[in-house]
Structure 1
């Protein structure tokens, strides 16, 4: 769903999305030893390090990654199911951010009841008319938009933690010089990508509670690109208030790449070591070769490429996104860059795939992830 289409997302739909994410968490909570698993999220960086340094687990992950670069969640192995359960817990640290949940409520019924209670204020908020400018939103519309930011972050956290749990992304936020394309308001690219979950167990004489939170981290520097004129004022504000850490370009990608080249040459802006295109609009990349050539000019010797696609506004758009990923995957494979493509939907025709997201709902879910460790020399 494109950024302006989020304006058609009602409070009732948002509450249903929160309930779906909570139900997935509640299903995991029924597993034996769940509370002990939650305690490992008190120090998530250490958890990642321990998991990725475990030789047995590393072998299992290497096996997952070795199957022609395609990981299909429609037929999950035990290792893959475990990774997505861990990622869902991480994502729900954002869903429950700031909440204390009693251990007695860690069940499907318990967390659904909590989320329903927390969503009561959203249920009756109607969808925001598409032509309403962000600076004209009412208080209730801003509340709805904040909820949309949260549901987008939940999906983004899930995606990023899958990549980290697979050992594909290892950089810390303060080491990242990021380029993000098609960012909308930029919220998930500035914040969602780098959110770190933390879940703390708190005990007293009579009960055990778990405190959920997400720690905001920021990249060392981020370049944001989106050509929708609705964001011009917002981008101007970002450049004014965040000028040392953000360069927000409200223009087409081709022009933005040229501006970025000049900034790197004349103003010592660092080359990018992460390129993100979350919920990619395929029309932004009509041909993969020119896009990768432009990317090559602004990246460091190595860079993480992270792309996702959503459902699009209709089947034709979804098919366009699939074709775009087909093209990019083929080019990157030909360059011997070993891309990884993770399928997050059911099998069947494109229409059937679009109607079967394995995680979340059609309106906000990522359907596929394309990851590649770019090597500038191989993009020549």
Structure 2
């Protein structure tokens, strides 16, 4: 029989989340100067300004609403999530808002700044040795505790209303409306769950827009391999140093048919691009933003060589402040034998010339 008190709690939980949404402004769309290619305009959707600090704030809100409306989350539910950090930070934010216990299952290598933020919001971190272990451990914990495994990797694409309702795609195109090139030639994104790329790709097709979607993928990830050969669904490469995007397996929320192009990006390139971009725009950027930029630079170089004009939009996924102890720490890089000097020079040269050198590729 339905429980009226649980139903009332769910209604109030949804109201609380919607009230938080109403208090939050949309994230900014920043123009990045490209003086060497005046006909090409680059924009960054700055997702780091969400209350929980990253693009994953949108996903966490959608996943909580999805779980509440499906009856999976109640007043005593322990919420469990598998995450490399940012989704867990955002879900911990919403769990605290609803007075729910939250457990994040994550690799031991996760940046300690993210761990601290999860704990700040009242969440608990359960560490595993590799990303591949997160799924089974999360399901086991949820089962043992009688809780709910949020499972962002399965539900990301279906929890988001891709037709509109202020999703990231609708927001980007609305903010571009008065620009010189209002319909982007390209949108460049990474994929962790695949939910954001699915939302953008579906929205582009739904609105019958000519915009193409490019996947910026860490070299260690399986997604770009799967796009080349659909029979490849896992990767045994050592994990990428870039947190939040790239996966060792093809996630259920990743929709390859929506991707028009992809670039596999080495970690050293992602880190260098994030550092240079941070200096150029005066905002600290995380590694996944660097991955996006490296792909953008290749597209800009090609467009400039063909004499094309147009706009490109990509994402500033989260702040580099979350990675002060890892990819933005020179000693940390040195200890791992990572030298980003040449890659940084290539990125600086791109901003000066509008071309990413073939040697850098």
TM-score by length of 1: 0.33
TM-score by length of 2: 0.34
